[in-house]
Amino acid sequence: MKWKLRKKLLIIVGILSILLAGCSGTNSKSEEPITDKATQAEEAGFEQGGSTASTADIAKEQASTNDKSGSTKEGVKTQDTKRKLIKNADLSVETKEFDDFINNLEKEINTLGGYTQSLDMQENGKKSVDNRYATIVARIPVEKLSDFINKVSDTGNLTDKNINVEDVTLQYVDMESHKKALVVEQERLLEILKKAEKLEDIIAIENRLSEVRYQIESYESQMRTYDNQINYSTVTIKVTEVEKETPVNKQTFFEEIKIGFVNNTDKIAIGIKSLFIWFIVNIPYFVILAIITVVIIILIKKYSKKGMIQKNEEIKEKKK
pLDDT at 95: 92
pLDDT band, residue 10 (cuts 50/70/90): low
Q: What is the mean pLDDT of residues 225-235?
A: 96
Average pLDDT, the chain: 77
Q: How far is 239 from 95, CA to CA, in rounded Å?
A: 7
pLDDT band, residue 230 (cuts 50/70/90): very high
The gap between the terminal CA atoms of the chain, to the nearest Å, is 207
Q: What is the mean pLDDT of residues 120-126?
A: 71
Q: Environment class of residue 136 by beta-carbon count within 10 Å: exposed (0-12), middle (13-18) or buried (19+)?
A: buried
| pLDDT > 50? residue 178 | yes
pLDDT band, residue 76 (cuts 50/70/90): very low
- The per-residue pLDDT for range 273-294, each reduced to its tens digit, is 888 898 898 999 889 999 999 8
Query: How do beta strands 115-122 and 133-141 pair?
Result: antiparallel
**pTM of model > 0.95:** no
